[in-house]
Amino acid sequence: MMSLVDISIRRAVFAVMLIASLVGLGFMSMGRLGVDLFPDVEFPYVNVTATLDGASAETMESEVTDILEEYINTIDGIETLQSFSSEGRAQILIEFNLSSNAREKVQDVRDKVQVALAELPPDMDPPIVDKVDPDAAPIISVMIAGDLPIAELTAFADDVAKERLQRLDGVGAVKLVGGRERAVRIWLDNERLRAFGVTADDVRRAIQSEHAELPGGRLETAARTLEFGVKTVAEVTRANGFSDLPVAYRENGVTIRISDVARVEDGLEDERSAAFLNGRRGISLDIRKQSGQNTVEVAHQVKAATEGLRALAPAGVTIVATRDVSKFIESSIEDVTHDVVIAIGLVVAVTFVFLLNFRATIIVALAIPTSLVATFFGFYLLGFSINVLTLLALTVAIGLLVDDAIVVIEAIMKELEEGKPPLEAALDGTRKVGLAVVAGTAATLAVFVPIAFMDGIVGRFFYQYGLTIVFSVSVSLLVALTLTPMLASRILTSSGVSPVFRPLEAFWDSTDRAYAGLVKLAVRFRIVVIIIAFASVVAGAWYAARVPSGFTSRADRSEFQGSIELPLGTGVVSALDAAQKIDAELRKIEHVEEVFVSIGAGAQAEARVIDLYASLTPKQERQTGQFEIMDQARKAIRIASPEAVKISVLEVPWV
């Protein structure tokens, strides 16, 4: 260690280039780092979703959910297993212990589901197995509204807008909510079915077998030098094509067709979802990013693509971006960055007040930007992102970054006061405190390294937090042993305190004398000091047990979300009416800027469930807090939909 100090002091270029290299790598890394609200954390949760059109909730429970649970329960490492069955849909959420590898467990669940397929209803599609990922939540939505027929609006949203958005870098999936695509509707006639001796199931099987595109083998040239795949073009695209499909054959040669037992017409698929933005009906495209992608960058791309879509949209169609998560992320990052700047200023000011030396303060202050910027190189090496926790760690570390440099500078200044030349003072001062500086840094690291490797979900979030402090403090130690003594040997002098600051120096001297007197009293009255210390610990523990706890604190984000469940059996028309009333009531609340309401868009895809999102005017522009407005929203929803069985108005989750 001392050889490093000696080389740095005697060879200034070495010290400058060493630290400059780290700072340069830090600057290069900053442009390559992602920006997000929180670190990318992998949760050990797996979700299984199965659908069977027309099946009741009881059928889904007995014929799908129970069978899947029986097979999945044999997997090792399951902590909890929850299942939900509704009309035509079954969902199973499996939580594994935290030591499990989520990707491996997803594959284990897929293997069990594959084995269970033999016992599931033959008409259902294979269940979907995926890992629960915070990145799967929409980061932004694009609302398309207009006076066009819903089929035309859906065609534009699906064929043009969705297609373009899916091609953007970082976009993982685009979900369309509120659209109604063209569909051929077949209206069965019960009397004619009985007359011809066929059933609705016969019609369904006929459509499944005839309305299909099947492989037709292959064709080869005579010399077998070329080969072509052959497929049957049997999919029906027009309503009259379905009318001619055969349902049954009779011994007398008569063919019974769909037109004999049903009426076939072009129409729209059943209305099971809808979306409204500020009272206007439209179609929502919910955009999810790919796992690990930069949320802010993807959202900016989507907003830029929205501008291009407006030029392609038919007349009378409006396209707006809503529910933009990146706005809050950018605001949070900006707030924390502002705190970092303030912290740097305060640390430099306090350092000067105690050192009373401009040159020494400048040397100490250099440890802050060099250590902070170099830390971004550590981010890049470890795959970290710029997020609230890593920036918070940098804010906490700022006070620690100058500790080593202050100790070194103080030791060098004492050597200068004894009359030693700057070079010798830098060498002797750093040698005297070098071991203490390293020991102090090691003690700091001993606190934050365990934080980085805590157990549980919280520990996974604080992994980046702890290692950010570890890396930045380690760099500050390197700066204190290289750059700090080198600069001190070049620019510090033994001129003493400026006459302007003599009164402040006298104040600190009196403070030192007062402290010495206090220490003498503490030594004399040991029992009293011990009692006071013990009482302080007990009082602190008592109050700590009563402090509210939570993973994140409540914050005014100028937005909230909600969910309203209508009674079982509520139809789509009733749900649409309730959604419009809720939308209208929420827009009456002061400071509510935007209201987005949808039905049938949640995980259960039930029309009786209404989801809402509301954005507020910025908090600096209103006197009423977000949580007061949320209370008003609950009352407004109860007025608009008194029949609702459950009303939830919540903060938009952080993760």
Dihedral of the CA atoms 537, 538, 540, 544 (nearest 10)?
130
Q: Is residue 511 part of a domain?
A: no
Q: Is residue 309 part of a domain?
A: yes
The better pLDDT of the pair 218, 205 is held by: 205
| pLDDT, tens digit, 9 for 90 and up, residues 329-364 | 888 778 778 888 888 888 888 888 877 778 888 888
Structure tokens at 588: 């009456």
50 and 144 housed in the same domain: no
Span 422-428, average pLDDT: 86
592 and 610 housed in the same domain: yes
299 and 366 housed in the same domain: no
Beta strands in 382-533 (DSSP E): none
At residue 226, does pLDDT exceed 80? no
Span 418-422, average pLDDT: 84
22 and 86 housed in the same domain: no
The better pLDDT of the pair 520, 267 is held by: 520
The better pLDDT of the pair 602, 485 is held by: 485
Q: What is the pLDDT of residue 469?
A: 92
Kindly report the backbone phi and psi dihedral angles of residue 406, in degrees, each rounded to the nearest multiple of 5, phi listed first: -65, -45
At residue 302, does pLDDT exceed 80? yes
220 and 148 housed in the same domain: no
Q: What is the pLDDT of residue 275?
A: 85
Q: Is residue 338 part of a domain?
A: no
Handedness of CA 267, 273, 279, 283 (dihedral sign): negative
Q: What is the pLDDT of residue 552?
A: 64
Angstrom distance (rounded) from CA 377 to CA 244: 69
Most confident residue range from 35-49, 113-127, 232-246, 348-362: 113-127
Structure tokens at 197: 């001796």
How many domains in the chain?
A: 5
Angstrom distance (rounded) from CA 394 to CA 373: 10
Distances (CA, A) of 27 to 210, 373, 379, 554: 63, 6, 11, 34
DSSP conformation letters of 175-232: EEES---EEEEEEE-HHHHHHHT--HHHHHHHHHHHS---EEEEEE-TTS--EEEEE-
At residue 271, does pLDDT exceed 80? no
From 578, 634, 637, select the one nearest 609 (Cα to Cα).
578
Angstrom distance (rounded) from CA 477 to CA 370: 11
Angstrom distance (rounded) from CA 60 to CA 69: 12
608 and 628 housed in the same domain: yes
Span 619-626, average pLDDT: 88
At residue 143, does pLDDT exceed 80? yes
Give the domain CATH number at 204.
3.30.2090.10
At residue 97, does pLDDT exceed 90? no
Mean predicted lDDT score pLDDT of the chain = 85
259 and 291 housed in the same domain: no
Q: What is the pLDDT of residue 34?
A: 80
Q: What is the pLDDT of residue 101?
A: 78
At residue 374, does pLDDT exceed 80? yes
Give the domain CATH number at 620.
3.30.70.1430
The answer to whether the beta carbons of residues 144 and 319 sit under 8 Å apart is: yes
Q: How sure is the predictor about 1, in pLDDT bands with cuts at 50, 70 and 90? A: low
Q: What is the pLDDT of residue 496?
A: 62
From the number of C-beta atoms within 10 Å of its C-beta (0-12, 13-18, 19+), residue 426 rates as: buried
Q: What is the pLDDT of residue 629?
A: 93
Angstrom distance (rounded) from CA 643 to CA 567: 7
Looking at 91, 115, 132, which one is the last position of a domain?
132
The answer to whether the beta carbons of residues 189 and 263 sit under 8 Å apart is: yes
At residue 234, does pLDDT exceed 70? no
| pLDDT, tens digit, 9 for 90 and up, residues 462-471 | 899 999 999 9
Structure tokens at 282: 């439209």
Q: What is the pLDDT of residue 32?
A: 85
Q: What is the pLDDT of residue 602?
A: 60
Q: Which of 227-236, 318-327, 341-350 has the lowest mean pLDDT?
A: 227-236
205 and 316 housed in the same domain: no
Share of the chain above pLDDT 70, in %: 94
CA gyration radius, the chain? 34
60 and 151 housed in the same domain: no
Give the domain CATH number at 164.
3.30.70.1320
Q: Is residue 550 part of a domain?
A: no
Looking at 472, 493, 514, which one is the last position of a domain?
493
Structure tokens at 557: 């984000």
18 and 143 housed in the same domain: no
Other C-beta atoms closer than 10 Å to the C-beta of 650 total 10
Classify residue 554 as left (phi > 0), alpha (psi -120 to 50) or beta: beta
At residue 655, does pLDDT exceed 60? no
Q: Is residue 189 part of a domain?
A: yes
Span 369-383, average pLDDT: 90
At residue 2, does pLDDT exceed 60? no
Span 496-521, average pLDDT: 80
302 and 174 housed in the same domain: yes
Q: What is the pLDDT of residue 494?
A: 67
Q: Is residue 71 part of a domain?
A: yes
| pLDDT, tens digit, 9 for 90 and up, residues 152-164 | 888 889 889 999 9
50 and 85 housed in the same domain: yes
Q: Is residue 352 part of a domain?
A: no
pTM (global) more than 0.85? no
Other C-beta atoms closer than 10 Å to the C-beta of 169 total 11
Distances (CA, A) of 595 to 43, 331, 561, 585, 614: 31, 21, 10, 10, 5
Residue type, 229: G
Q: Is residue 239 part of a domain?
A: yes
Share of the chain above pLDDT 90, in %: 17
Span 546-562, average pLDDT: 78
Looking at 462, 493, 524, which one is the last position of a domain?
493
| pLDDT, tens digit, 9 for 90 and up, residues 54-83 | 788 888 888 899 999 988 988 888 888 888
Question: Which range of residues forms the domain containing residue 204?
Answer: 184-268
41-80 burial string, b = 16+ CB within 10 Å, else e? bebbbbbbbbbbeebebebbbebbbebbbebbeebebbee
Q: What is the pLDDT of residue 165?
A: 92
| pLDDT, tens digit, 9 for 90 and up, residues 177-214 | 888 777 888 888 888 888 888 888 888 888 877 776 66
